A and B are shown apart, each in its own frame.
Chain A
Amino acid sequence: MSDYIRRLPVYLLLDCSGSMAGEPIEAVKQGLKTLLSELKGDPQALETAYLSIITFDSSARQICPLTELMLFKEPQISAGGATALGGALKVLADCIKNEVRVSTATQKGDWKPLVFLMTDGAPTDNLDEGIDALKRVSTGNIIACGAGANANANSLKKITNNVLMMNNLTAGDMAQFFAWVSSSIQVSSKSIDAKPGEAIQLPPPPQGFVIVP
C-alpha cells in the first residue's frame, strides 16, 4: 500500500567563505556526519525529514537537493571566497518553490520547511534582495546562527526573529550546534502540540549560545 507520510523539508544553509577554512569547515563536515547518523536513529525523523544543503561563499548553490535521509550522500565542501548570504537566501527561495509540495485540492502538501542558517561573517552581497525573495515563499521556522566574533547579529535579525550567537568557532561549539539542529529536527518531526499556523517549539539552545532578543 502507498503511504501518506508528509515530508518535513529541512534546509541547511552553510557559510563556506574563506574565514571558515581550517578547523571550522572540518567541524562542519563532522557535524553533518553526526547529524545524519543521529537522525537515522530516530524513527520519526527517518520517516519524515528530507534534507537539503545550500552552501555559500562568493556565490551560492544547492549542493544537495532535498533528499530522504537514507539516500542522502554527504557532500564535498571546502572553504574559500566571500559571504554571499543574500544569494543563499535567493537559492533557498527557489529551492522551496521547486521542491516543497504545496497543499492543493488533489495533493497532500509537505510540512512547512525548517531552515537552519550558519554564518561566521557579515554578508558581502545584497542581503535585502535575498530577504525579499524569501518573503514570497512559505517557511516554518528559520533559525540563524552567527558563529564567532565576526558574525553580524543585526543582519541575521533582518532575516528571522530566531537568532543565536555562538561565541567561538571551535569544533566543540560546532558539534553542539549540529546536535541542537538534530534535536530540533527530531522534535519537529514529532510535531507535538502543532496547531495549524503555530510555530513549532524547538528545544532550548545549547549552553554558551546566546539568543539575540
Chain B
Amino acid sequence: MRSGEVISAVLENGANIEFVFDANAPRGGMKHTFFTPDRKYAVQFFNEPKDARNPLLQDRIRTITGIYNPTVSEADGGAIGNTEKTAEYFRQRFCWPVAIVKYPEFGIVCPTYPQNFFFGSDASTVLNLKGKDKKSNWFTGRNRKYLTTAERGDFRTMLGTAISLCRSIRRMHQAGLAHSDLSCNNVLIDPRTGSAVVIDIDSLVVPNKYAPEVVGTRGYIAPEVLSTMGLDFGDPNRALPCVQTDLHALPVLIYEYLFCRHPLIGPKIYSKASAEEDDFLALGSMATFIENPNDTSNRPPDLKITINSLSKGLEKLFLRAFVDGLHNPSERPTAMEWERELLRAWDKLVPCANPNCEKKWFILRDDNNTVCPFCGKKASDRTIILSFKREMPGKKGVYRDKGEAAVFDRMPLFDWHIFSNVHNDEKADPQMRAYVAFHNGMWLLVNSGAEGMMSPSGRLVPKGSAVELKDRAVFRMSAKENGLLCEVTVNNC
C-alpha cells in the first residue's frame, strides 16, 4: 500500500467507509490512525494483531460504541436515557467511537475532534503549530510562553475548561465507565473558548468486561497504580485503572489548568540513586502534594499563587484529593463534587481591574476583599452578592440556600439562577435570561427573558425592565413554580 491510496473498509453494520492510507500514520501506544478522505472521521487499527483479534477487547469496544455511548441518543442505539440534545452536547466533548470496522481488520471509527482543538496559524510566533492538536501541556507548562496571549486564554476560560472536562468525566462515571488513561495527551483543551474534548475512549474500563491493559501516562497515573505496576496483572495487590484512579488524574488536570504547574512535581529529592527511581517514588508511593500544609518538604520556595487563592470549597477538594486521598483512593472527591464546586467558583468570578493582569479574572473568595491574587490590584471598593434561595417544598416561607453569584457589569444569568429545579449541566437551556448592567451609577438586573420576575415591592418586572440591586433588596427571580428568591448584599471594602 502506498501513502495516499484510498482504501475501502467494511463496518460491522454492513456499511462501507473509505480511508486514506499513510505509511507514517500517527501511532499511539495501542493504535495507529488514518482519516477518511473528508477528514471527518478517524479510522483506527491496533498496532498488535493479537489485540485486534482479542474477542474480549472487541466485545468491550462494541459495548462502548453502543449502549454506553453518551454521544448517541437512546433512540439511535446509544446510552439509556440519552436524548438527542444531551447526545449533541457530548458529541462536542468526547471523541467517542461510533462504529466498528470488520474488514480489512478489526478497527474503530471515531469522529475527528472539532476544529477549535487544532492550532491555527496565529497560535505562536516562534513555533509552527498550525494543524497540531491542542494537547493540554501546551498551555500548562513551560511551553506556554511560546503561545500568543490570545491562545493562552485567561483564568476564567481555564476554569471553564475544567468545568467542561469534569462534566464529561462525571457523565462517564455516572454510567460506571472509567477512562483509565486521562492525561494531557487524551484531553485536548481550547483555552480561547474554555472547552475540553476527551479523546482515546477505547481503553475505557467497562463494568463486568475484560479490563484494558493500560497503565496510564506519567504524571497522571494514580500513586497506587504506579507503585504496584511491577506486580503481575492478575496479582490481587496490583492496583488497576478504575474510577478512583480517574479521580486522581482529574484533579491533576484541573490543578494544571488553574495553576499551570503539576501538583506533585516539586523540589523534594526522593532518591539519589537515579532520576528514574526518584520519579517513581515522587509520583508513586511517596508522592507529596507541593501544597501539603502538614508536610512542606516538597513545597517550592517561591510558591505565590496557591489553592488559598481559589474558593474555600475548591481548596477543600484539592486537599481531599492530594492530601487525604493521594494514598487513600476512597477519600478522593468524585467528578460530580468537582463539577459542583467549580460551578460555585464560576459564579464567584470577578474581573480584575488591572488591564495588564495576565489572568484577567479571579474567584471572589472573601466578599469583603477584592484584591486580585494574581496581580495584587484591588478590583473595586464594593462587591454585590446575589444569594439565591429556594422555598422548601410544603413549607411556605422556609428557604434554603441554592447558591451565590458575585455581580459584575454585563454578567449573564440563566435558568439555573432563576429556578430551583434547574442545574447548570448538559440538560439546561444555555439561553441568557437576565443580565447585570451598571447604568447611570446604578447596578441593575435587567430582565431579558425571565418569565415572572418580581420587583422587591412585588410588582411584575417585564422583559426589558430591571430591578435595582440595592443592599438587602429581596425579590423573586420568578413568581412561577420553583422560582428562586434573590437576596442582595452590598459589601463596602
Contact code string A1-28 (vs B, CB < 8 Å = 1, else 0)? 1111110000000000000000000000
| A105→B272 contact, CB < 8 A | yes
| B141→A191 contact, CB < 8 A | no
A33 and B218 alpha carbons, distance in the complex (Å): 29
Total B residues in contact with A, Cβ cutoff 8 Å? 42
Please give, as numbers and ranges, the residues of chain B lying within 8 Å of A62 by CB-CB distance.
none
Given A47-B141, A110-B275, does the pair A195, B229 have CB atoms closer than 8 Å? yes
Given A37-B128, A195-B230, does the pair A46, B143 have CB atoms closer than 8 Å? yes
Choose among A2, A47, A138, A207 the residue that contacts B143 (Cβ–Cβ < 8 A): A47
Please give, as numbers and ranges, the residues of chain B lying within 8 Å of A44 by CB-CB distance.
137
Choose among A43, A104, A108 the residue that contacts B137 (Cβ–Cβ < 8 A): A43
Please give, as numbers and ranges, the residues of chain B lying within 8 Å of A213 by CB-CB distance.
none
| B261→A112 contact, CB < 8 A | no
A196 and B266 alpha carbons, distance in the complex (Å): 19
A37 and B24 alpha carbons, distance in the complex (Å): 16
CB distance from A204 to the nearest CB of B (A): 8
Please give, as numbers and ranges, the residues of chain B lying within 8 Å of A4 by CB-CB distance.
265-267, 300
Please give, as numbers and ranges, the residues of chain A lying within 8 Å of B185 by CB-CB distance.
190
| A108→B218 contact, CB < 8 A | no
A112 and B276 alpha carbons, distance in the complex (Å): 8
| A6→B138 contact, CB < 8 A | no
| A5→B29 contact, CB < 8 A | no
| B218→A194 contact, CB < 8 A | yes
Given A41-B128, A195-B230, does the pair A103, B300 have CB atoms closer than 8 Å? no
CB distance from B304 to the nearest CB of A (A): 7
| B217→A43 contact, CB < 8 A | no
Total A residues in contact with B, Cβ cutoff 8 Å? 37
Choose among B129, B138, B280 the residue that contacts A195 (Cβ–Cβ < 8 A): B280
Given A43-B137, A192-B215, A195-B230, does the pair A104, B275 have CB atoms closer than 8 Å? no
Contact code string B125-137 (vs A, CB < 8 Å = 1, else 0)? 0111100100101
| B127→A40 contact, CB < 8 A | yes
A119 at the interface (CB under 8 A from B): no
Contact code string B275-318 (vs A, CB < 8 Å = 1, else 0)? 11111100000000000000000001011100000000000000
CB distance from A195 to the nearest CB of B (A): 6
B431 at the interface (CB under 8 A from A): no
A70 and B143 alpha carbons, distance in the complex (Å): 10
B142 at the interface (CB under 8 A from A): yes
A183 and B302 alpha carbons, distance in the complex (Å): 35
Choose among B184, B275, B303, B304 the residue that contacts A108 (Cβ–Cβ < 8 A): B275
Please give, as numbers and ranges, the residues of chain A lying within 8 Å of B137 by CB-CB distance.
43-44, 47
Please give, as numbers and ranges, the residues of chain A lying within 8 Å of B271 by CB-CB distance.
103
CB distance from B283 to the nearest CB of A (A): 10
| A103→B272 contact, CB < 8 A | yes
B146 at the interface (CB under 8 A from A): yes
B7 at the interface (CB under 8 A from A): no
A103 and B143 alpha carbons, distance in the complex (Å): 25
CB distance from A69 to the nearest CB of B (A): 10
Chain B positions near chain A (C-beta within 8 angstroms): 23-24, 27, 29, 126-129, 132, 135, 137-138, 141-143, 146, 184-185, 215, 217-218, 229-230, 261, 265-267, 269, 271-280, 300, 302-304
A43-B184, A108-B275, A191-B218 given; name 6 further pairs at CB < 8 Å.
A4-B265, A41-B129, A70-B146, A103-B278, A105-B269, A109-B274
Give the 8 A-B residue pairs with the shortest CB-CB distance, closest first.
Answer: A196-B276, A196-B277, A109-B275, A43-B137, A196-B280, A43-B138, A4-B265, A105-B272
Chain A positions near chain B (C-beta within 8 angstroms): 1-6, 37, 40-41, 43-44, 46-47, 70, 103-112, 138, 179, 183, 190-197, 203, 207
